[in-house]
Amino acid sequence: MQSVVLKGTKDGYELILKETASVREILVDLKQLLEGLGEESEKGKDQLHLNVQMGNRLMSEDDKNDIIKLVDDYDNLVIDNFLSNVITREESAKIMSENNVEVMSRVIRNGQEVNVDGDVLFFGKIHEGGKLIATGNVFNMGVIEGIVQAGCPDDESKLIIGNLHTAQQVRVGEQYDIVADRPIEDSEKTVVYVNDLHVLSYGKIKNLKEINPKFFNRIGGIE
Amino acid sequence: MGKAIVITSGKGGVGKTTSSANIGIALAMMGKRVCLIDLDIGLRNLDVVMGLDNRVMYDIVDVATGRVKLVQAMVKDKRFDDLLYLLPAAQNTDKTALNEEQVKSIVDELKPDFDYVFIDCPAGIEQGFINAVSGADGAIVVTTPEISAVRDADRVIGLLEQHPLQETPKLIINRIRKSLMEDDNYMDVDEITTHLGIDLLGIILDDDKVISTSNNGESIVMNPDNPTAQGYRNVARRLEGETVPLMKIDVQKESAWDKFKHLFKRN
């Protein structure tokens, strides 16, 4: 059986690499396949986009580059993506932590910056000059007198929920507010979000469904 | 085996050196063997405050680089018969002249011979701070009731917590002014202590005599009646493990009678 098969799917063309074949075998077979293909598609000048399906294996960047180099010789063929059924442990840990809610009850002091992947449930205290920066949402049940950011670096769909009226700054994605200039109500039910006009806004927990329906559904909200 | 305690603050001018000298003397007066190390290299003051500046022969950099032995560089305070010593800082170089290992080995060499080794830390959080902290078993953070000093204390406590010493840091609130205690905008002792979230070791009242005594190379703590001296003696007793209640700050309120007298005076 050939180690490389070209297959048409509803999303376009896929080069399927046999996962038991060595990279050298694949390169030889791919060259052969491309030569045949080149002759056929010479007439139609349309560009053909390919995805490479690696099956149950991951290839090194060098091997991927060898494949890209081979395909580059043909003007009308472009590789879009390398696909695989598997991911590395590192990547899986990252995905896990992104969906995880980290519970934190420490003191973040002046000059300290705490970065978190995913959501944070915060019970501690952020002193003036301290920073809590999360890639996900921030749920505050502690005291924030410093700076808090959700959706770092640029995810504007994230929220900060809790009492924030003592904070120095609140930031969601790339939007920020200096609390001294625009006071926040002293309430545990505050929701900080970025609205459709990309402006930081303040709402109430009871309006969460309107503010961010996706988040509302994720936490299992019912009507 | 003695204990090495670093006295630090982050901000300058809050009274690290004065506190080092006074706590050291208070403990020596209690009969403890104390060594004070000045690590403010390039801007040394502890020798001046102690009145020992004209006795300095060698300094800590000489010891660290092996030019002299540790005992040769130590200056004895003659007021306290063999109890109080000072290891002065160098004046002709800067904070980068020492590294952590050198300071640590000097402190470790001193600890068996003394009950307390106090390390007077320079202001800032650079090499000088790192050196001072590296040899210490515990830390005393000095602050004043000012927002800038409290912020810097917060920063320093954060740094100390990142590389924890054997003992958790303790707080001294220095330069408390009685006349301002009633002002609502003034930060009070409770507020500062709860904000910083570490144990309070003592409070020290502000007194003009602190400056006048140290200008003469004497120390306020040797004055038996002074409330500031009382504060330092209380700190020393608490370090020794005694339970000493916190000094009451009695604000002298003007009574109706006093006001009446004032009126009378003006006329």
Find out whether B14 and B8 touch, Cβ atoms under 8 Å.
no
* Tens digit of each residue's pLDDT (9 = 90 or more) over A75-102: 778 888 888 999 999 888 888 877 788 9
What CA–CA distances, in Å, run from B37 to B45, B74, B85, B91, B111? 11, 9, 9, 14, 12
The confidence score (pLDDT) of residue B212 equals 87
Return the percentage of chain A with pLDDT > 70, whole number: 95
- Alpha-carbon dihedral B171, B174, B179, B185, rounded to 10 degrees: -50
Q: Can you give the pLDDT at residue B129?
A: 94
Sort B104 into a burial class: Cβ within 10 Å, 0-12 / 13-18 / 19+: middle
Buried b (16+ CB within 10 A) or exposed e, B39-71: bbbeebbbbbbbbbbeebebbbbbbbeeeeebe
| Nearest residue to A112 (alpha-carbon basis) of B154, B113, B37 | B154
* A125/B154 Cβ within 8 A: no
Q: Do A128 and B154 touch (CB under 8 A)?
A: yes
Asked if A125's CB is within 8 angstroms of B158's CB, the reply is no
pLDDT higher than 90, residue A164 = yes
- Chain A's closest residue to B151, CA to CA, is A110
CB B157 within 8 A of CB A109: yes
Give B117-178 as a DSSP string.
EEEEPPSSSSHHHHHHHHT-SEEEEEE-SSHHHHHHHHHHHHHHHHS--SS--EEEEEEE-G
Strands A12-17 and A4-9: antiparallel
Q: Say if residues A100 and A137 touch (Cβ distance below 8 Å).
A: no
* Cis peptide bond prior to B224, omega within 30° of 0: no
**Burial of A168: CB neighbours in 10 Å, binned 0-12, 13-18, 19+:** middle
Q: Using DSSP, how many helices (H) and how many strands (E) does chain A show?
A: 5, 18
Q: Which of B74, B52, B47 is closest to B63 using CA atoms?
A: B74
B116 DSSP β-pair partners: B3, B34
CA distance A9 to A4: 15
Q: Is B157 on the interface with A (CB under 8 A)?
A: yes
- Asked if the Cβ–Cβ distance from A107 to B155 is below 8 Å, we say no
Q: What are phi and psi of A16, to 5 degrees?
A: -95, 120
> Chain A partners of B195 at a C-beta cutoff of 8 Å?
127
The length of chain A in residues reads 223
Between B163 and A126, the higher pLDDT residue:
A126
Residue A33: the pLDDT is: 84
Give the residue, A73 or A62, on which the prediction is more confident.
A62
Q: Chain B residues with CB inside 8 Å of A129's CB?
A: 151, 154-155
Predicted pLDDT at A70: 84
Which run of H or of E encompasses B217?
Answer: none
Mutate to test the interface with B, among A105, A108, A125, A127 (most CBs of B within 10 A): A127
Contact A110 B155 (CB under 8 A): yes
Query: B3-266 architecture in CATH?
Result: 3-Layer(aba) Sandwich (3.40)
Written as tens digits, the pLDDT of chain B (267 aa) is 899 999 999 899 999 999 999 999 999 999 999 999 999 999 999 999 999 988 999 999 999 999 999 999 999 999 898 999 999 999 888 888 999 999 999 999 999 999 999 999 999 999 999 999 998 999 999 999 999 999 999 999 999 998 899 999 999 999 998 877 777 777 889 999 999 999 999 999 999 888 888 888 888 998 888 999 999 999 999 999 999 888 877 665 666 777 677 776 655
The answer on pLDDT for A117 being more than 80 is yes
Q: Chain A: give the shortest CA distance to residue B154, in Å.
A: 6
The residue whose two tokens read 């503010």 is A211
Q: What is the average per-residue pLDDT within A36-53?
A: 72
